[in-house]
């Protein structure tokens, strides 16, 4: 994820597998939250085998 103001990297983390569709973003008390279905495995995309889950990730608004 990159900041809209300066293009600086705000977040990066190995979450296991690929991100599926339906990504949602919202803000709570100045912290941006991103919710995504993660852990997608498919023969077409060579990713590690993992368990599918819903991940909630946060970015502190002061870092944007």
Work out how many domains the chain is built from and give that number: 1
DSSP state of 6: T
- Asked if residue 26 is part of any domain, the answer here is yes
> Could you give the CA distance from residue 35 to residue 7 in angstroms, rounded to a whole number?
21
CA distances in angstroms from 20 to 30, 40, 46, 58, 61, listed in the order given? 26, 6, 14, 18, 25
Mean pLDDT (the chain) is: 76
- Asked if residue 51 is part of any domain, the answer here is yes
- Asked if residue 6 is part of any domain, the answer here is no
pLDDT, tens only, 27-51: 888 888 888 888 777 777 677 777 7
pLDDT at 64: 47
> Could you give the CA distance from residue 52 to residue 11 in angstroms, rounded to a whole number?
21
Cβ contact 3:32 at 8 Å: no
- Asked if residue 3 is part of any domain, the answer here is no
The boundaries of the domain holding residue 44 are: 18-63
Question: Residue 61: which pLDDT band, with cuts at 50, 70 and 90?
Answer: low
pLDDT at 62: 58
Q: Does residue 1 carry a pLDDT above 70?
A: no
DSSP state of 18: E
- Asked if residue 48 is part of any domain, the answer here is yes
- Asked if residue 12 is part of any domain, the answer here is no
pTM for this one? 0.56
- Asked if residue 39 is part of any domain, the answer here is yes
- Asked if residue 2 is part of any domain, the answer here is no
């Amino acid at each position: 994820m990159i900041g809209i103001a300066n293009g600086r990297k705000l977040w990066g983390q190995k979450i296991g597998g690929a991100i599926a569709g339906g990504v949602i973003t919202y803000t709570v008390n100045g912290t941006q939250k991103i919710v995504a279905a993660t852990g997608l495995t498919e023969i077409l995309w060579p990713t590690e085998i993992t368990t599918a889950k819903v991940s909630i990730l946060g970015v502190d608004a002061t870092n944007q």
